[in-house]
């Protein structure tokens, strides 16, 4: 009768196999309960809601069971060929479980980061890329465990990957630029943006190859992601949708500037209250800034809820201000120019001399 650690083992191979399985199941169960208990205590101390706990509770026991079987099978008095076959089979099974656990854990962490912090949308190509990487690593480990040399395979893959990378250079550039747009979020769906090339409009869709921008005339501009991340972009929705609308006005030199400021402020406040798109409660700002050629110029700062509201806001302000100035007798001068002429004897002629 064979012995193991001072204990007599049965001669029947089936009884021996059953004993090994029962012992491995018992050891795996004890280790599984201890690991989960320790993890639960750690999570309780940190008051964290760890999403990996249910995943570990599901896959940890099968992995520990395979490891326990592997340990006991190596220590059991079995024929070398049988022991080698069992070792290789259990190693492959353990690797498969570990690959599945690692893949699901990586995807769960990415989805948790998306939900909790709103970093980026990983559903799609990034999720597929994660699965491909994990499966590729697992396949290499399995092949190495089976004794298959990876050098010729890696050499072939390296040459093929180089050729694919050269052929798909633009596509890959746009793909990684799309990842950058989703992670850094310089623009987002619904934002009103203006590109360095002059196109402007609402961002309709951010894809993995291109971004679509709907212009105000309802035309769609398709911009490659690689170009979008390299250009200067003016985003009218960051850091806030609200923006200042500046309107330049000029009045005659003989105007009462105090009256002009008061009347203009009243019209601006009325526009902010009554026009859709104005920010109610915002106090318009009026500042004189220049002596023009035929007028004293000043700026009026209004505030719109978003960029497209500024068009209607400026339209209504100019229209109402013109009507109010007419009632108040405030002149909006036409551009004028005084011309001086000289005669042959050097006398100067002007309008006062009857030109």
Burial zone of 35 (CB within 10 Å; 0-12 exposed, 13-18 middle, 19+ buried): middle
Out of 133, 164, 195, a domain closes at 164
Within-domain flag for 347:
no
In this structure, the answer to whether residues 33 and 99 fall within a common structural domain is yes
In this structure, the answer to whether residues 71 and 148 fall within a common structural domain is yes
Burial zone of 24 (CB within 10 Å; 0-12 exposed, 13-18 middle, 19+ buried): buried
**For range 238-243, the mean pLDDT:** 87
Sign of the CA dihedral running 205, 206, 210, 212: positive
In this structure, the answer to whether residues 37 and 153 fall within a common structural domain is yes
In this structure, the answer to whether residues 31 and 124 fall within a common structural domain is yes
| Token pair 């465990």: residue | 145
Q: Which residues of 286-298 are buried (b: 16+ CB within 10 A; e: fewer)?
A: eeeeeeeeebbeb
CA–CA gap between residue 17 and residue 4 (Å, rounded): 13
**For range 211-230, the mean pLDDT:** 87
Within-domain flag for 37:
yes
In this structure, the answer to whether residues 204 and 87 fall within a common structural domain is no
**For range 115-129, the mean pLDDT:** 58
**For range 6-20, the mean pLDDT:** 56
User: What pLDDT shows up at residue 346?
Assistant: 57
Q: What is the pLDDT of residues 252-307, one digit of tens each?
A: 998 999 999 999 999 999 999 999 989 988 899 999 999 988 899 999 999 999 88
In this structure, the answer to whether residues 202 and 82 fall within a common structural domain is no
Within-domain flag for 256:
yes
- Give the range of the structural domain holding residue 300, as residue numbers without chain letter: 243-328
In this structure, the answer to whether residues 112 and 132 fall within a common structural domain is yes
Indicate which CATH number applies to the domain containing 195: 2.30.30.60
**For range 29-48, the mean pLDDT:** 72
User: What pLDDT shows up at residue 120?
Assistant: 52
In this structure, the answer to whether residues 33 and 158 fall within a common structural domain is yes
Burial zone of 93 (CB within 10 Å; 0-12 exposed, 13-18 middle, 19+ buried): middle
User: What pLDDT shows up at residue 264?
Assistant: 94
In this structure, the answer to whether residues 40 and 85 fall within a common structural domain is yes
CA–CA gap between residue 157 and residue 172 (Å, rounded): 18
For residue 166, the cross-strand partners are: none
In this structure, the answer to whether residues 227 and 308 fall within a common structural domain is no
In this structure, the answer to whether residues 82 and 213 fall within a common structural domain is no
In this structure, the answer to whether residues 81 and 151 fall within a common structural domain is yes
Angle subtended by helix axes 125-145 and 80-117, to nearest 10: 160
Indicate which CATH number applies to the domain containing 273: 3.30.70.100
Within-domain flag for 346:
no
Number of folded domains that form the chain: 3
4-8, 55-59, 332-336: range with lowest mean pLDDT: 4-8
CA–CA gap between residue 246 and residue 303 (Å, rounded): 8
Q: Are 90 and 63 in contact (CB under 8 A)?
A: no
Q: Is the pLDDT of residue 95 over 60?
A: yes
54: number of Cβ within 10 Å: 10
E-strand stretches of the chain: 3-4, 7-8, 192-195, 200-206, 210-214, 220-224, 233-235, 243-251, 285-291, 296-304, 341-342, 348-349
């Amino acid at each position: 009768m064979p012995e193991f650690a001072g204990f007599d083992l049965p001669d029947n191979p089936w009884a021996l196999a059953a004993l090994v399985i029962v012992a491995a199941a018992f050891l795996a169960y004890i280790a599984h309960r201890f690991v989960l208990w320790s993890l639960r205590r750690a999570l309780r101390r940190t008051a964290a809601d760890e999403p990996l706990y249910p995943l570990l509770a599901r896959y940890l026991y099968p992995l520990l069971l395979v490891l326990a079987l592997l340990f006991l099978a190596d220590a059991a008095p079995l024929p070398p060929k049988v022991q080698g076959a069992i070792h290789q089979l259990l190693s492959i099974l353990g690797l498969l479980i570990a690959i599945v656990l690692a893949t699901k854990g990586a995807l769960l962490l990415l989805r948790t980061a998306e939900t909790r912090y709103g970093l980026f949308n990983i559903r799609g190509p990034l999720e597929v890329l994660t699965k491909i990487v994990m499966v590729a690593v697992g396949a290499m480990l399995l092949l190495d465990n089976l004794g298959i040399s990876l050098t010729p395979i890696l050499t072939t893959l390296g040459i093929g990957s180089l050729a694919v990378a050269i052929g798909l250079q633009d596509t890959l550039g746009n793909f990684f630029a799309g990842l950058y747009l989703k992670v850094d979020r310089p623009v987002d769906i619904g934002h009103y943006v203006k590109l360095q090339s002059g196109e402007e409009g609402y961002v309709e869709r951010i894809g993995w190859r291109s971004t679509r921008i709907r212009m105000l005339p309802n035309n769609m501009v398709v911009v490659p992601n690689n170009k979008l991340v390299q250009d200067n972009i003016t985003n009218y929705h960051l850091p806030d949708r609200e923006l200042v609308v500046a309107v330049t006005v000029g009045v005659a030199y003989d105007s009462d500037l105090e009256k002009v400021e008061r009347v203009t402020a009243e019209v601006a406040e009325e526009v902010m209250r009554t026009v859709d798109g104005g920010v109610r409660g915002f106090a318009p700002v009026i500042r004189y800034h220049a002596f023009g050629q035929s007028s004293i110029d000043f700026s009026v700062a209004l505030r719109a809820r978003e960029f497209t509201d500024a068009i209607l806001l400026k339209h209504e302000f100019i229209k109402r201000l013109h009507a109010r100035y007419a009632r108040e007798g405030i002149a909006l001068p036409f551009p004028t120019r005084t011309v001086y002429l000289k005669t042959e004897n050097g006398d100067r002629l002007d309008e006062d001399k009857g030109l």
